[in-house]
A and B are shown apart, each in its own frame.
Chain A
Amino acid sequence: MAQTSSLAEEKTSSLAFSSRTITLRVAKFNPKTDHEKKWIDFQIPYQKWTTVLDAILEAKKYLDHSIAVRYSCRQATCGSCGMIINGRPRLACFTKISELNSDVVTVEPMKNFPIIRDLTVSFDRLFKTHNSLKPFIIREDSDIPEKASELLQTPEELEKYIQFANCIKCGLCNSACPTMATDSSFIGPQALAQAYRYIADNRDKGKDDRLKIIDDSHGIWRCHFAGSCSQVCPKGVDPAMGIQLLRGYLLGFRS
Chain B
Amino acid sequence: MKIHYGTALAAVALVAVHILFRLTQGFAESLQYESVIANYQFLPYAGMLEIILILLSIHGFNGLRTILIELKQGHSYEKAVTYGCIAAMAAVILYGSRTIFMTSVGMI
Chain A residues proximal to chain B, CB less than 8 Å:
179, 182-185, 215, 217-218, 221-222, 250-251
B-side contacts of A218, CB under 8 Å: 69, 73
The docked-state distance in angstroms from the alpha carbon of A218 to that of B69 is 9
Interface size on B, residues (CB 8 A): 10
B-side contacts of A250, CB under 8 Å: 2
Q: Is the CB of B78 within 8 A of A217?
A: yes
Chain B residues proximal to chain A, CB less than 8 Å:
1-2, 4-5, 66, 69-71, 73, 78
Q: Is the CB of B70 within 8 A of A183?
A: yes
Q: Is the CB of A221 within 8 A of B1?
A: yes
- Contact residue among A185, A215, A221, A251 (Cβ-Cβ distance under 8 Å from B73): A185
In addition to A179-B70, A221-B66, A251-B5, 5 A-B residue pairs with Cβ atoms within 8 Å of each other are A217-B78, A218-B73, A221-B1, A222-B70, A250-B2
Chain B interface helix/strand/loop/mixed: helix
8 contacting pairs across A/B (C-beta < 8 A): A179-B70, A184-B73, A185-B73, A217-B69, A221-B4, A221-B66, A250-B2, A251-B2
A-side contacts of B5, CB under 8 Å: 251
Tell me how far the C-beta of B96 lies from the nearest C-beta in chain A, rounded to whole angstroms. 27
The docked-state distance in angstroms from the alpha carbon of A215 to that of B4 is 13
A-side contacts of B66, CB under 8 Å: 221-222
Closest B residue, CB atoms, query A221: B1
Tell me how far the C-beta of B4 lies from the nearest C-beta in chain A, rounded to whole angstroms. 8
Across the A-B interface, the 3 shortest Cβ-Cβ residue pairs:
A221-B1, A183-B70, A185-B73
B-side contacts of A221, CB under 8 Å: 1, 4, 66
